[in-house]
Amino acid sequence: MIKPIMKDVFFLSQKSEPSTEADKQVGKDLIDTLTAHKHECVGMAANMIGVRKNVIIVDAGFMPLVMFNPVITKKSGKYETEEGCLSLIGVRPCTRYKEITVEYQDMAFKKHIQTFKDWTAQIIQHECDHLQGIII
């Protein structure tokens, strides 16, 4: 189901809680909501649709990738950039890494460890910041 985009900075600044298999619908809602905003958005965190759970979605080019409980375990290639956010107005400076390794669970709650680079890595870092209540 397409959900409204959360713009309340107080809500967005709160840390999210671990997700469980009971939160699978959140992943489906993120797919629907990202698809509806595809022209202006490449990733979302669950708190952007009003749910404080550790779930993100990334438009990886070929299909959206939903990650439950993502944790960045390695990062390299630090750089400075600017990012915008569907929940916020304007762009802001931030520090990102060119390559990251992420541990996460997929829609079937199967564990994965995967390395991402460049644009996809940047999107994942932005969404993981959301889960920690970090607002760029």
pLDDT tens string 13-47:
999 999 999 999 999 999 999 999 999 999 999 99
pLDDT value of residue 111 = 98
Residue burial 78-87, b: 16+ Cβ < 10 Å; e: rest: eeeeebebbb
Q: Is the pLDDT of residue 63 over 90?
A: no
pLDDT tier at 60, thresholds 50, 70, 90: confident
Q: Is the pLDDT of residue 90 over 90?
A: no
pLDDT value of residue 134 = 92
For residue 37, count CB atoms less than 10 angstroms from its CB and return exposed for 0-12, middle for 13-18, buried for 19 or more.
Answer: middle
Q: Which of 17, 83, 99, 127 is catalytic?
A: 127
83 is catalytic: no
- Mean of pLDDT values over 50-78: 95
Q: How far apart are CA 74 and CA 103, in angstroms?
A: 10
Please give the share of the chain, as a percent, with pLDDT higher than 70. 100
pLDDT tier at 89, thresholds 50, 70, 90: confident
Nearest alpha-carbon partner for 7 in 46, 48, 67: 48
Instruction: Check if the beta carbon of residue 43 is closer than 8 Å to that of residue 126.
Output: yes
pLDDT value of residue 136 = 81
pLDDT value of residue 22 = 96
Q: Is the pLDDT of residue 62 over 90?
A: no
Tokens found for residue 44: 């979302």
